[in-house]
Amino acid sequence: MGLKYVEMVKSVMLIFLIGLSLVLTFLIWNSAPYETIGNRGTIDTSIAEKPEKKNIDSMIKPYKLHFTFNETYTGAVANEEIEYMLSHLKKWKLQTPQLEDQQFTKEKLHQLMRKENSLVLYYPDEVPLTVYDSVLNIESQNIPEINFEYLIANWDTKKGTTKIHFVSVKNSLHYTTTAKLVEPQFFHRDVITVAKNYDEYVEVEEDHEHFLLVPKEETTLVRSTYFSNEKDEINPTRFRNVLFSDPNAVRRNEINPQRDDYQDNHALMTVDTEKKFLHFVHPSVESQELAIPSELVEDAIDFVNEHGGWTDEYRFSKMNFRARSIQFKLYVRGVPVLGGNSMTDIEQVWGEEAIYQYRRPYFTLGDTLPSEQEEILIPSGVEIIEALKASREIDFDSVEEILPGYYMQQDAELDIFQFEPAWFYLQHGNWVRFSPEEVGGEKIGLE
């Protein structure tokens, strides 16, 4: 009897332990946080066939620069000229920036930009200095957490010194520091002499709310057509493999001929198969906390680096640390794509240590033939200014910037991408393509 009783107790205990094990396993599976690319380890899958990791130097660049000499301006938007000037800027030894003015108005900024012997670098949005120190040679380990949209250098070749200004228009902040010119004689030869041969720029109106400089002469850009083919096509399943922790658990649903949904119990990826863009969202990691700008920039670049997602040339274009969002704009031949009939930007919204939303195109630009390239002469900035001022449809006072760029036209049936040179103006934070028909009157060479 005793042995039978012991065996019965053992059986009951074994069943209990097995049951407890199953319950604990179930609880662990359901309580474990969903793992996204934001907190996973090394990822083997790559989006691009030949992934290239990007660094701060290649991702954050000025979109324009200008010099002031004897009340005249020269300027450039070409990538080669901007890179050349940045290469010299890297040689300067900067001291730690100090706050000079916390009520820095636009009028003060405009006066500074007109100052004799100055270089102005224009950035598309606020850049965290603690990130950009990889580009600048700051002789300090304690760089302040400041952001800037303009970097302005005023030099004195006799003293061999330069005063550097970091200006945030959004926050009305003005920081300054000094830099030593390593070799003043070479600075005059390699920077000043070169800059004086850049295109001549003119200021639109001194009393305009925004400081507008445009090229005086016509500008040449290349109109081109890119053909997509199978080797350039990115299968959306590659994104499924890197954005979801368990690709095998993802369900695919064809909503209609132009839309596929990829979904598991935690996240959703919507794919537009005609326009070739996707939107990934992971609701449970959403965060309302303010992001630290420098961390947001670094996390965003590392995130795309991690899955080899820089399929073409993209650059930093916009950031909102309050909304935890950041954008990167497509560039072609060093020229920004400022409009089009399909999505061309990479957009991210960050949650708690993981990506909350990810919107981007998944096409890549294929080959372009010499026969499909044509140099187009577009009007001078002065002509565009006059047309905008004459328009009854456009509030010229609200125009923040004017810039040449590309308008991308996607033909889904032929599977081609056409890039048309055009002038764009920035209004209320959005780029608008200049259209002669919009302002009325005669065409001036853009269409």
CATH number at residue 293: 3.30.310.160
What is the sign of the dihedral through the CA atoms of 345, 215, 426 and 318? positive
Backbone phi and psi for residue 116, each to the nearest 5 degrees, phi listed first = -60, 145
In the chain, what percentage of residues exceed pLDDT 90?
Answer: 68
What are the tens digits of pLDDT across the range 141-195? Answer: 788 889 999 999 999 877 778 999 999 999 999 999 998 776 777 888 999 999 9
| 300 and 423 belong to one structural domain | no
Measured over the CA atoms of residue 307, residue 225, residue 412 and residue 405, the dihedral's sign is positive
Distance between CA atoms of residues 186 and 184, nearest Å: 5
- pLDDT tens column, 12-60: 555 555 555 554 444 443 443 434 444 444 345 678 777 789 999 999 9
Q: Which two tokens stand for residue 11?
A: 């059986």
Q: How many CA atoms within 13 Å lie on the side-chain side of 391?
A: 21
384 & 338 share domain: no
**Which residues, including other chains, have CB under 8 Å from residue 40's CB and lie 6 or more apart?**
245
Same-domain pairing of 117 and 144:
yes
**200 φ, ψ (degrees, to nearest 5):** -75, 135
Residues 246, 341, single domain; the answer is: yes
On whether the CB atoms of residues 74 and 347 are closer than 8 A, the answer is no
For residue 268, which of 379, 355, 374 has the smallest C-alpha distance? 355
Domain annotation covers residue 12 = no
* Residues 352 and 374 grouped into a single domain: no
Beta pairing partners, 429: none
pTM: 0.87
**124 and 61 Cβ atoms separated by less than 8 Å:** no
Question: How would residue 280 be classed by pLDDT, with cut points 50, 70 and 90?
Answer: very high
User: CA dihedral in degrees (171, 177, 181, 187; nearest 10)?
Assistant: 20
Domain that holds residue 134: 56-204
Q: Are 187 and 278 part of one and the same domain?
A: no
- Structural domain contains residue 216: no
Quote the CA–CA distance of 36 and 240 in Å, as a whole number.
Answer: 11
Q: Cα–Cα distance between 263 and 249 in angstroms, integer? A: 8
Structural domain contains residue 38: no
Q: Residue 322 falls within a domain, yes or no?
A: yes
Same domain? For 351 and 380 the reply is no
Select the more confidently predicted residue: 231 or 399. 399
Question: Are residues 241 and 123 both part of a single domain?
Answer: no
Place of tokens 């990829």: 262
∠80-62-321 over CA atoms, to 5°? Answer: 150
Point out the domain boundary residue: 326, 341, 361. Answer: 361
pLDDT at residue 9 above 50?
Answer: no
pLDDT of res. 24 = 46
Q: Are residues 172 and 64 in the same domain?
A: yes
353 or 40, which is more confident? Answer: 353
Mean pLDDT of 387-416: 92
Both 112 and 246 in one domain: the answer is: no
- Over the chain, what is the mean pLDDT? 87
- Within a domain: 350: yes
Token pair 């290469």 is found at 87
Is 244:354 a contact under the CB 8 Å cutoff?
no
Position 38 scores a pLDDT of: 46
- Mean pLDDT over 342-367 rounds to 93
Please count the structural domains in the chain: 3
Find all residues with CB under 8 Å of 75, minimum gap 6, and list them: 64, 65, 66, 67, 198, 199, 201, 213, 215
Considering the domain architecture, whether residues 62 and 194 belong to the same structural domain is answered as: yes
Question: Last residue of a domain, which of 361, 380, 410?
Answer: 361
Last residue of a domain, one of 361, 382, 397: 361
Closest CA to 399 of 378, 385, 415, 414: 385
Question: What is the predicted pLDDT for the residue at 35?
Answer: 44
Pairing state of beta strands 335-340 and 399-411? parallel
Decide if 275 is inside a domain: yes
What would the pLDDT profile of 71-86 be if each residue is shown by its tens digit? 899 999 999 999 999 9
Residue 284 lies in a domain: yes
Span 247-273, pLDDT tens digits: 999 999 999 999 999 999 999 999 999
**26 found inside a domain:** no
Both 350 and 281 in one domain: the answer is yes
